[in-house]
A and B are shown apart, each in its own frame.
Chain A
Amino acid sequence: MRRYFFEFLTVLLMGGSIVFFVECIRYLSQREYVAAIILMFIGLAVISVGREMARLALVQKE
């Protein structure tokens, strides 16, 4: 059960991070540079958490 949870979280977090990158582009087009940079770092933080979940899913014994 735990491994499925990790796999689900991996896809959710890594896939979900793209929302922040898309919003980053929207803010860039509005000349909201600070907000765009913050959103980019939020996206990077979320995708890094997703990567960690993927690592944990891969090292699960069973």
Chain B
Amino acid sequence: MEASGADRVLDRWRTFADAVALSLGLNLWVQLVLLPGLVAGALGAGPGQLAAVLPLLVLGAGVWQRSELILLLAYPGILLVPVGLAPEMANVHVYGPVRFAIVAVALVGYLFGASLFTSFREPPPPRSQRPLASASRPVPPRWRRRFRLYAALTALSIVFPLVLLYTINFDGEVRELLAVQYPGRVAGLTTVMNLGAVAFWVLLYAWFFLGVLRPHRTGDRDLVGDLDRLRREARRGRPRLQFYLGVAVALALMIALLLMRH
């Protein structure tokens, strides 16, 4: 009886998660496809309408199948098809800074919601739990320090892409310079710069943000060997060669830039 009760609770949570993923996905479709399509007048023709409806079918299939591959990869990817067919939908004039922020929040919200939804596929929690003795002790200062740094890195990892994309798309000086220096190619160049900024940010995140946290990742048996090596490396209390190299390169290049400019 207890097991069936737990199953019912789990089913209710799964249904709730399905509804959340579906709502967030629909919201993203409205923000990214429907409204820009109507504003830009790109949904009048047959192929445009077909491409606009296609993401809804994929979203429905993802929710029906409860597939993280469809929900987290195929659906966000297929949302770009109507934008690819009618690039004016992604025009800067369609996306002001406020609207751009709203769409960004909708995208991140959908990805978080869909990720949460996929976690409900994990097995139900055990029937009884016994807290560890260390759980009753206060959090040691070392871990509080780590949490502070984790929070700072999380905040920075949000700020970085926002600032880069804002500078490319909405900074008045950059927009004016692009219009003067690249007449007739501003839209194409903006798209290339946006893609470059996103790719650059992904590399930065992998190298510099995850790089710091990698020694603290636990729970993955495949990583045990790497963790041992990294733990040994992390125990060194002195800066590595990269530190001195970074300082030297930064100073040398700054001096070179100053000499070039003056």
Q: Is the CB of A59 within 8 A of B253?
A: no
Could you list which residues of chain B lie within 8 angstroms of chain A, going by C-beta atoms? 141-142, 145-146, 148-149, 152-153, 156, 159-160, 163-164, 167-168, 171, 173-174, 177-178, 181, 193, 197, 200, 204, 207-208, 211-212, 215-216, 234-237, 239-240, 242-243, 245-247, 249-250, 253-254, 256-257, 260-261
Given contacts A11-B152, A30-B177, 4 further A-B contacts (CB under 8 A): A29-B181, A35-B261, A49-B247, A59-B234
| Contact digits for A11-49, partner B, Cβ 8 Å, 1 yes 0 no | 100110010011001101111001100110110011111
Known: A15-B159, A29-B174. A58 touches B235 (CB 8 A): no
A46 to B142, CA, bound (A): 26
Could you list which residues of chain A lie within 8 angstroms of chain B, going by C-beta atoms? 3, 7, 10-11, 14-15, 18, 21-22, 25-26, 28-31, 34-35, 38-39, 41-42, 45-52, 54-62
Residues of B within 8 A of A3 (CB): 145
Q: Is the CB of B212 within 8 A of A55?
A: yes
- Nearest-neighbour CB distance to chain A for B218, whole angstroms, equals 14
Residues of A within 8 A of B235 (CB): 59
Known: A45-B247, A46-B250, A55-B234. A38 touches B257 (CB 8 A): yes
Q: When the two chains form the complex, which single residue of A10, A11, A58 contacts B234, counting CB atoms closer than 8 Å?
A: A58
The 6 closest A-B pairs by CB, nearest first: A45-B250, A29-B177, A52-B243, A48-B246, A49-B246, A45-B249
Q: Interface SS of chain A: helix, strand, loop or mixed?
A: helix
Residues of A within 8 A of B208 (CB): 14, 47-48, 50-51
Residues of A within 8 A of B239 (CB): 52, 56
Contact sample, A vs B, 21 pairs, CB 8 Å cutoff: A3-B145, A10-B152, A14-B208, A18-B160, A18-B164, A25-B168, A34-B260, A39-B257, A42-B249, A45-B245, A48-B242, A49-B243, A51-B211, A52-B243, A57-B149, A58-B145, A58-B215, A58-B216, A59-B234, A59-B236, A61-B142
- Nearest-neighbour CB distance to chain B for A28, whole angstroms, equals 7
A31 to B175, CA, bound (A): 13
Q: Is the CB of B243 within 8 A of A7?
A: no
Q: Is the CB of A41 within 8 A of B253?
A: yes
Q: Is the CB of B149 within 8 A of A59?
A: no
- Nearest-neighbour CB distance to chain B for A35, whole angstroms, equals 6
A49 to B240, CA, bound (A): 10
Known: A10-B152, A15-B159. A56 touches B237 (CB 8 A): yes
Question: Taking each of A7, A35, A48, A62, which has the highest tally of chain B beta carbons within 10 Å of its own beta carbon?
Answer: A48
A14 to B26, CA, bound (A): 36
Residues of B within 8 A of A52 (CB): 239-240, 242-243, 246
- Nearest-neighbour CB distance to chain A for B102, whole angstroms, equals 23
Q: Is the CB of B174 within 8 A of A26?
A: yes
